[in-house]
Amino acid sequence: MRFEEKWQPYRDKQGGKPAKKIRQLRFASRRDAYIYSFYRHILREPYEAALKARGLDGNVIAYRKLATPEGKGKSNIDFALDAFNVIRAYGDAAVVTLDISKFFESIDHQLLRQQWCGLLGVAELPRDHAAVFRAMTRYAIVDRDAAYERLGFLKWQAKGSSQIPVYTTGFKDMPRQLCSNGDFREKICGKGGSFASLIETNKDDFGIPQGSPISDMLANLYLIDFDSALKAYVDAIGGAFFRYSDDIIIIVPGGDAEAVAARDFAMAEIKKHGSMIVIKESKTSVLRYYSVPGGQAFVKLHGEQGQNGLEYLGFRYDGKAAYLRDATMSRLYRKVTRSIRAEARALVKRYPGRDQAYIESKFDAPRFMQRYGRVADFDQTGNYDTWTFWTYAKRAIETFGSLGQPIGSQLKNYSGIVRTRMAHEISKALA
């Protein structure tokens, strides 16, 4: 089933409104998910062995079980700190960040098959593996909202000149089995002629669904030769690199010339791995860090990003300290405002006839802040579905130590902002 995550980035300093960000995700049916999980398990051991044999164990960091020295599972917090520590250890270094555009949607099927065969040491995939390969490359999808509408869980409501979706059943209350076998055949597959089929099949020679249990493993495997080539390049010049899915960071000794050469090498090398694989020019940056009393300073050499320092895996490093990314903080306060507005309306409805002071006294701000929101883009071994932004920030402060002291300052006004915003929204709801 396909659905989209959409969000609107904040305006840039020039006042321009960026295009909406859209990430297409797919999740498999329960039976298919079990099958994909099983084959991911089968491929994991030879893939991990291949990484070790190629010396890539510490370079490819996403979607793998990697441990801290204390034996805890690493998260993107740890990976960001690892990169910042490499830059600090170099003293003078150039840093290149690259981003592969629409990575999962661009994976070449033939090249993926070759890597899969190579991992198993066979000329042709065994029948069972070939069946999984076909399922992942010729995948069939149903749009989530189209299915919900067809099954009566969603209706469209006019709002001004546009239509907005209204769910007749909340996501938490959706039945685990959306429909009977008969309804599936008739209303989803279009059997019987009463309804058009909602099933779409990928007919391209590229692209795998992002979100299935095996997708991350296959995406990592797909670029193993690219990882090896980049590893050989940076090793030869005394540098380092990390790849976190579609995010690549290259750290090399030297300045502008060395950084540009590393950037150009990576961009040329990636073209060998499928005609659809493209590195986003707009998200490529080159910075130089150099030693100064009390730490490092930086200068931005190339690219649109990096005005305030290196941004990597949700954090920013300016040479002296690490911070939560500005965009991360903006996203937090935007979501807080939306949630507080809903909470204020609920409180006013719960206590009719009461004045603002009374209703404000019923707002449990500490509880709101502790339970608020899951963390976006947080990858951690194990099930951390209950992690909130507050938990995440505290973990970052602990992990970064003295380097991350400014994170506490970034959050010091969080409580006050929550209370002030709640008072404002209660006042509006009472009006």
pLDDT digits (tens, 9 = 90+) for 116-153: 999 999 999 999 999 999 999 998 888 888 888 888 88
Give the residue with greater pLDDT, 7 vs 206.
206
Give the residue with greater pLDDT, 354 vs 327.
354
The band of 382, judged by pLDDT with boundaries at 50, 70 and 90, is very low
Tell me if 88 sits within 8 A of 81, measured CB to CB.
no
The band of 379, judged by pLDDT with boundaries at 50, 70 and 90, is very low
Burial of 195 (0-12, 13-18, 19+ CB in 10 A): middle
CA pair distance 429, 333, nearest whole angstrom: 20
Looking at residue 291, its amino acid is S
φ, ψ (nearest 5 deg) of residue 223 = -100, 20
| Residue 187 DSSP code | I
CA pair distance 48, 6, nearest whole angstrom: 34
pLDDT (0 to 100) of residue 225? 98
Domains of the chain (ranges, CATH numbers):
29-104+210-320 (3.30.70.270), 140-201 (no CATH), 328-430 (no CATH)
Give me the torsion for CA of 358, 360, 366, 368, rounded to 10°.
120
Looking at residue 289, its amino acid is Y
Distance of CA 20 to the CA centre of its chain: 16
Provide the residue count of the chain: 431
pLDDT (0 to 100) of residue 367? 79
Tell me if 406 sits within 8 A of 316, measured CB to CB.
no
Is the model's pTM score more than 0.85?
no
Map tokens 């005609």 to a residue: 275
Tell me if 369 sits within 8 A of 333, measured CB to CB.
no
Residue (of 310, 307, 296, 313) closest to 396 by Cα position: 313
CA pair distance 128, 151, nearest whole angstrom: 34
Tell me if 262 sits within 8 A of 192, measured CB to CB.
no
Residue 25 has pLDDT above 90, yes or no: no
